[in-house]
Amino acid sequence: MSYEKELKAAKKAASLAAQLCQKVQKALLQSDVHSKSDKSPVTVADYGSQALVSFVLGKELPTASFSMVAEEDSADLRKDGGQDTLERITKLINDTLSSDGSYDLSPLSGEDVLTAIDSGKSEGGPNGRHWVLDPIDGTKGFLRGDQYAIALALLDEGKVVLGVLACPNLPLQPIGNTEKHSLQNQAGCLFFAEVGGGTHMQSLDGSLSTKVHVSSTVNPAEASFFESYEAAHSLHDLSSSIATLGVQAPPVRIDSQAKYGALSRGDGAIYLRFPHKGYREKIWDHAAGCIVVTEAGGVVTDAGGNPLDFSKGRFLDLDTGIIVTNQKLMPLLLKAVQDALSESSQATPSL
């Protein structure tokens, strides 16, 4: 089955959301940032991106059975004091839609925006089609002025069949340890993949796309690896223990699913993610990244070596941690990870 229409709509939605987010990142105001009940940050751009993606998918693919599993909801915006923030979000969306000019419509109201945000409340699951959206993945990176991604995927009968990753601050050239890239004047990257069709990358300003492949290195000594910028998101000590494999380069620490994008084009060969105990991974944090890497020839598993299962609802039900690499390095890496995990659980039984 081809998902051509859906892929075209997803690319348009993610690109417009990236325009909205870049506008906010360039002029971020303290009043744009709020704290959610789990203490994580959320900004007008997270909400604006989610509403815009939902709106564009609805316009491009009119269907009676639209379902989306997305990170944000409108509860805080509906509370007392949320009105100013909602007005700011509504203006951002209307400005983005009117400068794009694709749709002939009257401006959206605050109520339209709340409804669009809440169309992401689906529970997903193994049956039917569900869009999966992280409107800003890596909000902490976004706030620092660093990497973030708009991550949109489609599930069909529990499997990820397409994914789009808009990474507005990721240069088209490879990133590594040595150079510190200026984020100014970069168009950013759009990665997209359809099941069986490979992974492509183009500039977010719409250049021709090129097919990308993961690194083919079989030598761990040559393999550089990615991990979270935030130590609170992934155990840095544990990933450093893969040094037993012979990996020599220091880790490249960047925020968000931009790591999956960079890996899909071979910037590095390994991505390791070991959240602290008790953290439950959400499907929107991995669905788009996972197909972008696997269609580029890579492998994504949990620490038990099992593929990620996106059919279980809003959460991923997995065995401690996520490992991403190429097919040849995976057996070695999996063994090194399992050895490191069992050593650290002997040293600190609470891990």
Ligand X SMILES: Nc1ncnc2c1ncn2[C@@H]1O[C@H](COP(=O)(O)O)[C@@H](O)[C@H]1OP(=O)(O)O
Stretch in the footprint of ligand X (CB under 6 A) among 24-32, 132-140, 199-207, 262-270: 132-140
We find the least distance from the C-beta atom of residue 45 to ligand X, in angstroms, to be: 12
The pattern of x and - marking residues 40 through 79 that bind ligand X according to CB under 6 A reads x------------------------------x--------
What does the H/E/C string look like for the chain? CCCHHHHHHHHHHHHHHHHHHHHHHHCCCHHHEEECCCCCEEEHHHHHHHHHHHHHHHHHCCCCCCCEEECCCCHHHHCCCCHHHHHHHHHHHHHHHHHHCCCCCCCCCHHHHHHHHHCCECCCCCCCEEEEEEEEECHHHHHHCCCCEEEEEEEECCEEEEEEEEECCCCCCCCCCCCCCCCCCCCCEEEEEECCCCEEEEECCCCCCEEECCCCCCCHHHCCEEECCCCCCCCHHHHHHHHHHCCCCCCEECCCCHHHHHHHCCCCCEEEECCCCCCCCEHHHCHHHHHHHHCCCEEEEECCCCECCCCCCCECCCCCCEEEEECCCHHHHHHHHHHHHHHHHHHCCCC
Q: Is residue 156 annotated as involved in ligand binding?
A: no
- Decide: is 266 part of the binding site for ligand X (CB under 6 A): no
Q: Which listed option, Mg ion, ligand X, none, makes contact with residue 232 (CB within 5 to 8 Å by class)?
A: ligand X
Q: Which listed option, Mg ion, ligand X, none, makes contact with residue 194 (CB within 5 to 8 Å by class)?
A: none
Q: Is residue 137 annotated as involved in ligand binding?
A: yes
Number of residues that bind ligand X (CB under 6 A): 18
**Residue 267 among the catalytic residues:** no
User: Which residue in the set 279, 306, 319, 342 belongs to the binding site for ligand X (CB under 6 A)?
Assistant: 279
Contacts with ligand X in 285-304 (CB under 6 A)?
285
- Decide: is 138 part of the binding site for ligand X (CB under 6 A): yes
- Decide: is 137 part of the binding site for ligand X (CB under 6 A): yes
Q: Given the residues 43, 85, 90, 139, select the one marked as catalytic.
A: 139
Q: Is residue 71 annotated as involved in ligand binding?
A: yes
Stretch in the footprint of ligand X (CB under 6 A) among 62-70, 87-95, 225-233, 237-245: 225-233
Q: Which listed option, ligand X, Mg ion, none, makes contact with residue 202 (CB within 5 to 8 Å by class)?
A: none
Q: CA–CA separation, 160 vs 309, rounded Å?
A: 9
Q: Is residue 104 annotated as involved in ligand binding?
A: no
**Residue 139 among the catalytic residues:** yes
Residues of this chain that bind ligand X (CB under 6 A)? 40, 71, 134, 137-139, 141, 228-230, 232-234, 255-256, 275, 279, 285
Residues labelled catalytic: 46, 139
Residues of this chain that bind Mg ion (CB under 5 A)? 40, 71, 134, 136-137, 139, 285
